[in-house]
Amino acid sequence: MHCMFINIGNCPSLAHRGLAAYARLEPAIARRVKFSYLDYNVRDALQGSALHAEFTPASMLDEMLSDARAHEPDVIGLNVYIWNVDLVYNLVERLHAMMPAARIVLGGRQTDHTTQDVLARLPYVTIVRGEAEGAFRNLLLAWLDEPAPTVIGSISYVENGKQVHTPQGGYLESLDEIPFAYDDCLDEIASLVDRFPGWPRVQYESTRGCPYKCSFCLYGKLPKVSYRSPDSVIPELTRLLERDLTVEIVDPVFALHKKRTKEILRGLAGKVSTGLMTVETYAELLDEEMVELMAASGVGHVGVGLQSVDPQALETMVRNFNEEKYRRSIELMQRYDLEFYVDLIYGLPDSDYEAFKRSVDFVYSMGVSRIQMYRLLMLPGSEMTTGASEHEMRWNAQAPYELLANTTWPLEHVLTAQRFATTYQLLQRRLAATGLMDRMLEFTTSPAGLIERIAERLHTCGFNFLAPARGAKIDPLEVFCAEAGIRIAPQQSPAAQASRAG
């Protein structure tokens, strides 16, 4: 049997290689199943960096179909996420049309909570719900006519015109039960990264699940938190970092288990490698020892969730916030020169646009100018979506399920915040060499107010926020300088003028 995984994403698939590694623990599968992988960097391809500009999504899918047919697989596995759902479903339709005998298996958080809709559109697929390792292994055993459970848990399919959803199966006791996903393919992974400049990273999972129950998120929906032991994590990460790779730790909350996390970081600290790690965490979990170890062990980028400082929004999100601890953690990362950014969400119910701006000003008050601003996504299965009627939530029914309006965020304010976020991103890129974004408080008591005025002026001038690079007739940098009161002398760069003004 030949099992082929197709990945449409932004890095080589950890999930697919982990599924194969776990399945191969079964001797019959190890003997009788060949695994192969097709990884496609669709984002870069569509931007013209990997393929010629005339290459359209449709023709890309046909190329993927051609590649798949050349391998003649018996089983095809694909992961489905909000960023690739349309491409995956269209590819699956092509695969089934041209390879009707191939069994197609779908998994991922996007299918977990839209199972019935997916089977209505694609009745010939099998869906693995939730944690996939055990169910996928059992499917392969059954298709090999090897001993397998009579009822395979955690799968959904159509039989005799009716949807069948088996009971949820068990979960792994420990992530150590999954062999190192890249054990026999490090050369292949390094080759993929070299071939696609837009993929300078690989993913690694040391924690699965989250004890927090943020209402907009799905990580907390798993019934337990599972860990990979430091004895496994340290040598595995070392092998990746020694390959000069950037390793994205996909744990929902890095530093969740402080003692364990520090043990891992100590094991990595001082090792000679040129690779870097990126992590996401709650800022309040960081103490000085943790931050010092992160700086010493190759953590090159940290995302710290905040989302909002508005008390009503925090309550609706079911999210705690300790301002004193948060400020302390930010100061520690600044002291140890860790690169980091802060996440903010606009569109949160029981909050409003003014509260969003206050959150931006709060972040700037700590001397932080790197912010990731997101519109609220109404993810199927999240508590935010389940309780949508209470706040009259309206959102796009298609992925990525962006909020349209609720009781405190009319559509006009959502669009205003979107222009605000786009303006901020434009300024970050345009002013990167000037240092002006880091010095906003020198020009205004409210950076959010300044960004808002720039966004309003750009909007009034007909600036294309949906495609800023197309036919822009106004320079955001010039608007910034005008609104901030910075004079630009003839033939003098804004950076030089700002330096004099400072």
The mean pLDDT value for 291-310 works out to 94
Q: How is residue 62 written in tokens?
A: 């046909």
Give the pLDDT mean for 219-226. 87
* Percent residues over pLDDT 70 in the chain: 91
pLDDT attached to residue 249: 96
Task: Give burial (CB, 10 Å; 0-12/13-18/19+) of 269.
Answer: middle
- Residues 446-452: what's their mean pLDDT? 95
What integer is the mean pLDDT of 333-353?
96
Q: Which residue has the higher pLDDT, 89 or 501?
A: 89
CATH of domain 2-165: 3.40.50.2300
Question: What is the pLDDT at residue 466?
Answer: 78
pLDDT at 369 over 50: yes
pLDDT at residue 501 greater than cutoff 70? no
Residue with structure tokens 């001082």? 270
> What string of DSSP letters covers 393-456?
-EE-SSTT-BEEE-SS--HHHHHHHHHHHHHHHHHHHHTTTTT-GGGGGGT-S-HHHHHHHHHH
- Strand, coil or helix: 464: coil
Q: Which helix (H) or strand (E) holds 341?
A: strand 340-346
Torsion on CA atoms 80, 82, 85, 86, rounded to nearest 10? -170
**pLDDT over 70 at 500, yes or no:** no
What pLDDT band is residue 272 in, cutting at 50, 70 and 90? Answer: low
The percent of residues above 90 in pLDDT, for the chain, comes to: 69
With cut-offs at 50, 70 and 90, classify the pLDDT of residue 470: low
Does 83 score more than 90 pLDDT? no
User: Are the C-beta atoms of residues 249 and 277 closer than 8 Å to each other?
Assistant: yes
Per-residue model confidence (pLDDT) at position 488: 55
Q: Return the pLDDT at 60.
A: 83
Q: Which two tokens stand for residue 319?
A: 């999210």
Mean pLDDT of 476-496: 67
Q: What is the mean pLDDT of residues 379-394?
A: 92
Strands (E), 135-275: 155-159, 162-165, 201-204, 207-208, 226-227, 246-249
pLDDT given for residue 491 in this prediction:
43
CB 172 within 8 A of CB 226: yes
Whether the per-residue pLDDT at 148 is higher than 90: the answer is: no
pLDDT band at 141 (very low <50, low <70, confident <90, very high): very high
Domain residue extents for the chain? 2-165, 200-409, 430-502
In the structure, what pLDDT confidence band is assigned to residue 195 with cuts at 50, 70 and 90?
Answer: low
Mean pLDDT of the 284-291 span: 96
Q: How confident is the model over 8-54, as pLDDT tens digits? A: 988 889 999 999 999 999 999 999 999 999 998 766 545 543 444 44
Average pLDDT, the chain: 89
Top CATH class, 200-409: alpha beta
Q: What is the mean pLDDT of residues 116-145?
A: 96
Q: What is the pLDDT of residue 47?
A: 52
Q: Is residue 430 pLDDT above 90, yes or no?
A: no
pLDDT, average across residues 198-217: 88
Residue among 333, 250, 260 at smallest CA distance from 292: 333
Q: Please, which contacts does 146-155 make with residues 24 or more away whose CB atoms are closer than 8 Å?
A: 146/26, 146/28, 146/29, 154/128, 154/129, 154/130, 155/126, 155/127, 155/128, 155/129
* Whole-number pLDDT of residue 160: 95
pLDDT-based confidence at residue 497 (cuts at 50, 70, 90): very low
Q: Are 293 and 253 in contact (CB under 8 A)?
A: no
Q: How far apart are CA 186 and CA 291, in angstroms?
A: 29
**Concatenated DSSP letters for 473-494?**
-S-HHHHHHHHHT----TT--H
Q: Phi and psi (nearest 5°) for 391?
A: -110, 15
Do 216 and 395 meet the contact criterion of CB atoms below 8 Å apart? Answer: no
Answer yes or no: same fold for 2-165 and 200-409.
no
Q: What is the pLDDT averaged over residues 109-124?
A: 95
